[in-house]
Chain A
Amino acid sequence: MNYEYSQKEFEFFIELYQMVSAYSASHPMDTGGADCEKNIQGGVEKLGQTPYLKLGVSDVENANGLVTLMGAMEVVAAVSPSLYLTAEYSMRLLGRALAKWGDEKQKQAFLNPLISGSAIGALALCEQTVNVDNEPLAATGEKQGSTVIISGRKQFVVNGPVAKVIGVVGTCDGKPAIFLVDGDAPGLSINRTEGSFGYKGACISEMILENCRIDEDRMIRCSEKEDMVSVLRLWENQILTGASLGLMRASFESARDYAKSHKTGGKPIIAYQEIGFKLAEMLTLFQTSQMLAIRAAWTAEKQPREAFDLTLCAKVFCTESAARVSGEAMNIFGSSAYFGANPVEHAYCCARYGESFGTSTELSRIKIGDAALGIKP
């Protein structure tokens, strides 16, 4: 047993924080618009110069796989949620799929640019009836000789408009597959989904694939025993859990600092129990979330069979806590959080995303309940 990160891991978190916050100070990434899009691409490249993008995908010296990753996720998400989302959906969804199921050629061609940060990827999973994974996938690939012809419609795909390569999740011959489609492939149309409530710098889109052709060697398969969609959901849930930690850190720390410096009635507002105790509850949720998230990550690595339920527990707890903590932070800031772009307001908006995406809070609870009842998925 060991409940602490190592000195080396701490050093890595500090370096990562310094790098991302310095870059984000001169390159805004959470405001939206074309500049922001460019800044995020630069930010992903910067991350590629650190071990960050490799974590959870390949061995990194002095790191402890997903456990280190969870701590690093918190750091990046706290500084720039949009950079975080972009990097994670690129690397920890498509990248991990390539690392786990891709062949050597696919890894060379597609995974290496993602790891180095020179390219951004996307994973298109969500469909109109597959937003909470309760319907079979409608996107299909049909084999014709050595070509696969893909048709389908995807929505809310993070990184769609900026991705060099998109992993489209569907079925081929009735079995799950990921089709690696170039961002500019004929037959693929991408429509940016404008006006998102949070993650204002991230590019989210709808995708229509009409007879989009790829070579057969651009198709990724998993083994018969694996449930590909469940694994992808687990990874997505880990991403949203990590995001929640970062959003809580940003909200809590901003609110705490504000409460110590902002005065009313001649006293800093933290001196009033209504505020001081609210912050105590926020910190309790934040610290409890951290411990649960890290333990779930550790379990995913060491005891994968127990990880599905525990990851869902962590996802529900952390995303709901993030929504509450960021909401309370808004209260502490009073009117000043309500006007204009600021980190607290943005964290609040981003936190709304966590509960609904991945395996939604509602569906997660049903699955956790099923597990308690011994009902197999």
Chain B
Amino acid sequence: MDFGFTKEQQMFKKEIIRFAKKEIVPRVQEFDLHKQFDFESFRKLGEFGILGLHFPEEYGGGGADVVTTVMAGEALGEAGVDGGLTLAYGAHSFLCADTIFKHGSEEQRKKYIPKLCSGEWIGCMGLTEPDAGSDVASMKSTAEKKGDKYILNGSKIFITNAPVADVSVVYAKTDPDAKHLGISAFIVEKGTPGYTCGEPLIKMGVRTSQTSEQFFSNCEIPAENLLGSEGDGFNMSLQTVEWDRSALLAPFVGVSTYMLKRCADYAKKRVQFGRSIGQFQATKRKLANIRIFGEAARSLIYRIAWCKDQGKPLNHLEAAVAKLFVGDWSMGPANDAMILHGGYGYCHEYDMERIFRDSRLAPIGGGTSDIQKMIISKLM
């Protein structure tokens, strides 16, 4: 076993942190306050090469391995980038672009991937429906083939980036009577007649990411927008799980390092009872809890990333363990960080309350903690 990163990886991580601190972090609180998507920061992520990091260079990507890609996510969190922007990046690069890259035709790759890598276009992925969340197979959206077209009907909910997206990967049933095997995936572009999005939902956290419903009403798309073959959709959505359990979790790990630094700085300066609060054991305990969580979670996500780099099939049990741990065990440290800041921690002036809100998504998005427990208990 060897847990070391290469020198290049370490340097790259430092570069990302420097870039994000300078270009993105100063804008985070303002955009969070106004619940706005930060187009400029998103574009800068593209310019820096983060949006397309793991795609081959010929498609405008960076050609990086999975570990480096996960490291980039960790670095963004560590720099203090908000969970909204990192979620938007995750939905764009992994849930949307990666699915198109992996299952699309060469023509589709050439058409979409370079634009998604650069950030010129924004992507999203519509899987969840109002009545089909954890139970994906019960989805009701349909795609009916008519000649050289598919006609999409139905609706999606909680779709990250939907209000700002140029392109969407949408899952719908081509065989409504079949369960998982009836699901297929399609590319739907913004402006396609019959496709509309709802107003951005008002959310507790990750507020700079825009989340909304997607509506499909006799929405006609060319038949070639089918990704892979009919019935492949469920497996495609499963394949995004590898990214979901590594790259999408990485910012949560990075943010724990950020919290630790911020909390330590605050604890050194804040004086109560004639002493800096850092001198109280209760404060040290909180700092320790944050550190311990980060260290524990880090190994889990890099394990998934390393295995993917080795070409090993995803170990679903290990993936669920990573998701469950980050989801459920991140709550304590985020809470500690907020409380350590006392009343200031509760106010927007300090970003601890935002981090607390952002972190609440971890046990819900991409499969709730209960679903992870279900998977683990079945596989054990």
Name A residues whose Cβ lies closer than 8 Å to a Cβ of B: 1-5, 64, 67, 256, 270, 273, 276-277, 279-281, 283-284, 287-289, 291-292, 294-295, 298-299, 302, 309-310, 313-314, 316-317, 364-366, 368-374
Are A317 and B380 closer than 8 Å at their CB atoms? no
A1-B302, A256-B380, A295-B3 as given contacts; A284 in contact with B321, CB under 8 Å: yes
State A369–B2 Cα separation when bound (angstroms): 27
Are B299 and A295 closer than 8 Å at their CB atoms? yes
Are A284 and B324 closer than 8 Å at their CB atoms? yes
Q: Which residue of chain B has its CB nearest to the CB of A279? A: B377
State A130–B298 Cα separation when bound (angstroms): 34
**Interface contacts beyond A276-B373, A288-B321, A365-B288: sample of 8 additional A-B pairs, CB < 8 Å, sorted by A:** A1-B3, A3-B302, A3-B306, A277-B370, A277-B373, A298-B3, A372-B264, A373-B278
B287 interface contact, C-beta 8 A: yes
Whole-angstrom distance from the CB of B167 to the nearest CB of chain A?
A: 34
A3-B302, A279-B380, A291-B303 as given contacts; A369 in contact with B283, CB under 8 Å: yes
Are A5 and B1 closer than 8 Å at their CB atoms? yes
State A279–B263 Cα separation when bound (angstroms): 34
B67 interface contact, C-beta 8 A: yes
Tell me which residues from 233 to 275 in chain B have a Cβ below 8 Å from any Cβ of chain A: 260, 263-264, 267-268
State A372–B264 Cα separation when bound (angstroms): 6
Are A317 and B370 closer than 8 Å at their CB atoms? no
State A256–B289 Cα separation when bound (angstroms): 29
Q: B293-314 CB contact bits vs A (8 Å, 1 = yes)?
A: 0011111101100110000000
Can you offer 18 A-B residue contacts whose CB atoms are under 8 A? A1-B306, A2-B2, A2-B306, A4-B1, A279-B377, A288-B297, A289-B296, A292-B296, A298-B2, A309-B291, A364-B288, A365-B289, A368-B292, A369-B281, A369-B287, A372-B284, A373-B264, A373-B268
Q: Which residue of chain A has its CB nearest to the CB of B370? A: A277
Are B380 and A374 closer than 8 Å at their CB atoms? no
| B-side contacts of A310, CB under 8 Å | 295
| A-side contacts of B296, CB under 8 Å | 288-289, 291-292, 313, 317
Whole-angstrom distance from the CB of B171 to the nearest CB of chain A?
A: 27
Tell me which residues from 343 to 380 in chain B have a Cβ below 8 Å from any Cβ of chain A: 370, 372-374, 376-378, 380
- Closest 6 A-B residue pairs measured CB to CB? A369-B284, A276-B377, A291-B299, A280-B376, A368-B288, A365-B288
Which residue, of B263, B283, B287, B328, has the highest number of chain A Cβ atoms within 10 A? B287
Whole-angstrom distance from the CB of A174 to the nearest CB of chain B?
A: 29
State A292–B260 Cα separation when bound (angstroms): 18
Are A3 and B373 closer than 8 Å at their CB atoms? no
B325 interface contact, C-beta 8 A: yes
State A284–B376 Cα separation when bound (angstroms): 9
| A-side contacts of B147, CB under 8 Å | none
Whole-angstrom distance from the CB of A73 to the nearest CB of chain B?
A: 14
Are A299 and B287 closer than 8 Å at their CB atoms? no
Whole-angstrom distance from the CB of B283 to the nearest CB of chain A?
A: 7
| A-side contacts of B297, CB under 8 Å | 288
A270-B377, A276-B373 as given contacts; A1 in contact with B4, CB under 8 Å: yes
Q: B122-147 CB contact bits vs A (8 Å, 1 = yes)?
A: 00000000000000000000000000
| A-side contacts of B283, CB under 8 Å | 369
| A-side contacts of B377, CB under 8 Å | 270, 273, 276-277, 279-280
Are B284 and A370 closer than 8 Å at their CB atoms? yes
Are A283 and B380 closer than 8 Å at their CB atoms? yes
Q: Which residue of chain A has its CB nearest to the CB of B304? A: A3
Q: Which one of A1, A309, A364 lies within 8 Å of B5 (CB-CB)?
A: A1
State A287–B319 Cα separation when bound (angstroms): 11
State A369–B289 Cα separation when bound (angstroms): 9
B232 interface contact, C-beta 8 A: no
Q: Which residue of chain B has its CB nearest to the CB of A270? A: B377
Whole-angstrom distance from the CB of A238 to the nearest CB of chain B?
A: 15
A270-B377, A317-B292, A365-B284 as given contacts; A299 in contact with B321, CB under 8 Å: no
Q: Which residue of chain B has its CB nearest to the CB of A293? A: B299
Are A316 and B2 closer than 8 Å at their CB atoms? no
| A-side contacts of B300, CB under 8 Å | 287-288, 291
Are A283 and B2 closer than 8 Å at their CB atoms? no
Q: Which one of A67, A277, A280 lies within 8 Å of B1 (CB-CB)?
A: A67
| B-side contacts of A284, CB under 8 Å | 321, 324-325, 376
B285 interface contact, C-beta 8 A: yes
Whole-angstrom distance from the CB of A250 to the nearest CB of chain B?
A: 15
B318 interface contact, C-beta 8 A: yes
State A273–B67 Cα separation when bound (angstroms): 34
State A373–B291 Cα separation when bound (angstroms): 12
State A277–B372 Cα separation when bound (angstroms): 9
State A295–B291 Cα separation when bound (angstroms): 15
Are B307 and A3 closer than 8 Å at their CB atoms? yes
A279-B380, A280-B373, A310-B295 as given contacts; A288 in contact with B1, CB under 8 Å: no
Whole-angstrom distance from the CB of A25 to the nearest CB of chain B?
A: 25
Q: Which residue of chain B has its CB nearest to the CB of A309? A: B291
Are B376 and A372 closer than 8 Å at their CB atoms? no
| B-side contacts of A64, CB under 8 Å | 1
Q: B322-340 CB contact bits vs A (8 Å, 1 = yes)?
A: 0011001000000000000
A280-B372, A283-B376, A372-B287 as given contacts; A294 in contact with B295, CB under 8 Å: no
Are B284 and A366 closer than 8 Å at their CB atoms? yes
State A5–B2 Cα separation when bound (angstroms): 9
Whole-angstrom distance from the CB of B46 to the nearest CB of chain A?
A: 27
Are B380 and A280 closer than 8 Å at their CB atoms? yes
Whole-angstrom distance from the CB of B319 to the nearest CB of chain A?
A: 11
| B-side contacts of A289, CB under 8 Å | 296
A295-B299, A372-B263 as given contacts; A313 in contact with B292, CB under 8 Å: yes
State A299–B298 Cα separation when bound (angstroms): 14
Whole-angstrom distance from the CB of B375 to the nearest CB of chain A?
A: 8
Are A281 and B373 closer than 8 Å at their CB atoms? yes
State A313–B268 Cα separation when bound (angstroms): 21
State A113–B260 Cα separation when bound (angstroms): 46
State A366–B291 Cα separation when bound (angstroms): 12
Are A1 and B380 closer than 8 Å at their CB atoms? no
Whole-angstrom distance from the CB of A370 to the nearest CB of chain B?
A: 6
Q: Which residue of chain B has its CB nearest to the CB of A289? A: B296
State A313–B296 Cα separation when bound (angstroms): 8
Whole-angstrom distance from the CB of A355 to the nearest CB of chain B?
A: 13
